[in-house]
Amino acid sequence: MLNNKSILIIGAGISGITAAVSLIKSQFTNVIILEAENRIGGRIETVSFANGFIDLGAQWCQGEKGNSVYELCKNEFKFGTTGWLNGTGFVPVASSGEIDVEKILRLEELRQEILLKYDEMKKSKVSIGEFFEEKFYDALKTSQFQDIDEKLADMFLGFWQREFNSLFASTNWYDVSSKLYPILETCEGQQDLTWRQYGFKTLFDIIQKDLPKSIKLEEKILLNKKVTKINWSNEKVIVQTEDNSVYSADNIIITIPLGYLQAHHMNIFYPKLPDSKIKAIECIKVGTLGKVFLEFEECFWNRDNDDFVMYAFLWTKEDLEQIIDTDKEWLTHILGFIKVDSHPNLLEGLLSGDKMREFETYSNDKIISDCMWMLEKFLKRSLPRPIAMRRTKWLTRENFLGSYTYLSMKSADENITSDDLATSIKSKNNKPVLLFSGEATHKRYQGYVHGALDSGKRAAQEIIDFYSSKSKL
Ligand SMILES: Cc1cc2nc3c(=O)[nH]c(=O)nc-3n(C[C@H](O)[C@H](O)[C@H](O)COP(=O)(O)OP(=O)(O)OC[C@H]3O[C@@H](n4cnc5c(N)ncnc54)[C@H](O)[C@@H]3O)c2cc1C
C-alpha cells in the first residue's frame, strides 16, 4: 500500500537524504531525490586538499547532548577536536601595539556573562549588537574593569562582533534580533568535534548503514536535476527540471536552501505559495560564512604558542580606518586564522559580513597576497608564501546563494520564526502536499547540520503519520 505513494525530495543535502532514509525504513519505496548539483551533500562538502580532505561547508559537530549527528555517529566514529575549549591556544594579535592577554581573557568572561542574559534578551526590542554594546559599556564603568581603556574595549568589541558574525553567518550583528536569539539552543558538550582526516562526508556513509541490503540509496538520487517548476494545483504534484524532465508525486519535500528559495520561489511554484509562507521565506535572513585555507611548506605558528589554536585579530581604530573603502576592506571581516585538525601545515581563515560578494569575486592571487599582508601585519614578521590555497564561494554559487540562516530584526518585527517556514501546505483532504525541511526550518538548531537532519526526519514523519492514520480509517 505504501509502495504506491510517490514521494519526491528536492535536494540531496543532509535533510533530503535523512528524509529519504526515514521513509524507506518505513516501507515507502517509491522515493526519488532530485538534486541540482553533480554530487550529494549540499552544504556538507568535503574536498581533497593538501594531501587529505578539508570541509568547505560544515566542519564541526557542535555539541553532544541532543545533537542527532553526534548520537548517530558516536559509536561509529572517533571524533577529533580543534582545541577551542582548552583556551590556552588562543593567540590574540593586534594590528599595532601590544596586547595584554590577561585583560582580554577577563573581557572574554564578561562576554560570556552577557550572552547568558536570556531573560532580558527575550524582552528586548533591539538587535543583539545594540544589546551587547549597552551591557558591555555599562560593565566597563564598574570598578572591576577600571583598567580597561577605551582603545582596548573597542578592539575587543570589534573582535566579538566578527566572532558573532562568523558563528551565525550574520551580515551584521545589528541585524540579528536579541529577542529571538534565546530560541536558538546549543547542544551541551564539545562544540568543536572534528571528522579528523576524513571530513564531514563520513556522515553520509553512517546514515545509510542500517538501510535494508536490497535498497541502494544512490539509485534513488538523480543528480544534475535542477527543479524549475512545481505545479501543486492538483492532487498529484508535477515537478519539472531544467532539462525538461517531468515527475509527478503524492508528496514533495522541499529542502532547497533558503537563499535559493528567496531568489526563485515566485518562478518555481504554481500556484504561488500562500502569503504566510512567502512572508516567512522573505523575513528569515541568509548570511554567508567564508573560509580561506592556506597550505604552507611547514608550520610556523607553533613558534607563538605550543598549543596554538587561533590567531585572533584585534584591529585598532586607526588601522581599520586606513583600509576601509579600499580593496582590502574585506580583510577587516576575517575573525582570525585557526589550525585545522589532522592538517599540521594548514591555516584556515574564517569571515562573514557585508563584503562577502567582493571576497568571492576577487582572484585567487589577490586573496593569497591580501591574507599574507594581513598575517605579516599582525604577526610583525615576514612569513613564507603558501604553497596552495582553497576558498569558498557560498554566496555566489547558484544553488545555495548563502551559507546558512539567522533570525533577523525583520523576523522579530513580523513575528516570524522557523516554524512558519516549516509548516507544510495541505490539500483539501488534509494531505501534506508540500513539506518544507532543511536547516532554516529548525526552530532550535537553525543553521546546524543536526538541525537539518532533524528537520528531514520531521518532514518524513509527517508523511508517515498521514498515511498510517488514513490506513486505520
Ligand atoms: C561555510 C559553512 C560552514 C558551516 N559550518 C557548520 C558546522 O561547522 N557545523 C554545523 O553543524 N553546520 C555548519 N554549517 C551548516 C550546515 O552545513 C547546514 O546547516 C546543512 O548542511 C544544511 O543542510 P540542508 O539539507 O538543509 O541543505 P543543503 O545541504 O544545502 O541541501 C540542499 C540541496 O538542495 C539543492 N538544490 C538547490 N536548489 C535546487 C533545485 N532548484 N533543484 C534541486 N536541488 C536544488 C542544493 O544543491 C543542495 O544540495 C555550515 C555551513 C556552511 C556553508
**Which tens digit of pLDDT belongs to each residue from 199-222?**
999 999 999 998 998 999 999 999
Per-residue confidence band for 149, with pLDDT thresholds at 50, 70 and 90: very high
Round to whole Å and give the CA distance between 190 and 168: 18
Can you tell me which atom of ligand 1 is nearest the CA of 392? 1
Q: What is the pLDDT of residue 174?
A: 95
Element (H, E) at 270: strand 269-270
Q: What residues contact residue 10 under an 8 Å CB cut-off, 6+ apart?
A: 16, 33, 34, 227, 230, 239, 252, 253, 254, 255, 256
Round to whole Å and give the CA distance between 353 and 162: 8
Phi, psi of 453 (to 5 degrees): -60, -50
- Average pLDDT score over residue span 327-346: 96
User: Which of 10, 40, 43, 453 gets mutated to test ligand 1 (max ligand atoms within 8 A of its CB)?
Assistant: 43
What topology is assigned to 90-188+289-391 in CATH? Polyamine Oxidase; Chain A, domain 2 (3.90.660)
Query: 33 alpha carbon to ligand 1 midpoint, in Å?
Result: 15
Q: What is the pLDDT of residues 13-61, one digit of tens each?
A: 999 999 999 999 999 999 999 999 999 999 999 999 999 999 999 999 9
Residue 147 to residues 61, 103, 171, 312, 441, Cα–Cα distance (Å) = 38, 9, 32, 22, 45
Q: What is the pLDDT of residues 267-314, one digit of tens each?
A: 999 999 999 999 999 999 999 999 999 999 999 998 888 889 999 999
Alpha-helical runs (H) found in 32-149: 68-73, 101-115, 118-123, 128-140
Domain with CATH 3.50.50.60 in the chain: 2-44+53-78+196-284+402-472
- Average pLDDT score over residue span 145-163: 94
CA-proximal residue: ligand 1, atom 20 (nearest):
449
The yes or no reply on domain 2-44+53-78+196-284+402-472 and CATH 1.10.287.3510 is no
Query: 164 alpha carbon to ligand 1 midpoint, in Å?
Result: 20
The overall average pLDDT reported for the chain is 95
Round to whole Å and give the CA distance between 147 and 103: 9
Domain with CATH 3.90.660.10 in the chain: 90-188+289-391
The C-alpha torsion from 238 through 244 and 245 to 251, rounded to 10°, is -20
Please answer whether residues 41 and 287 qualify as being in contact, where contact means their C-beta atoms are separated by less than 8 angstroms.
Answer: no
Query: 43 alpha carbon to ligand 1 midpoint, in Å?
Result: 3
Query: 240 alpha carbon to ligand 1 midpoint, in Å?
Result: 22
Q: What residues contact residue 173 under an 8 Å CB cut-off, 6+ apart?
A: 127, 128, 129, 132, 161, 164, 165
Round to whole Å and give the CA distance between 336 and 310: 7
Q: What is the pLDDT of residue 275?
A: 97
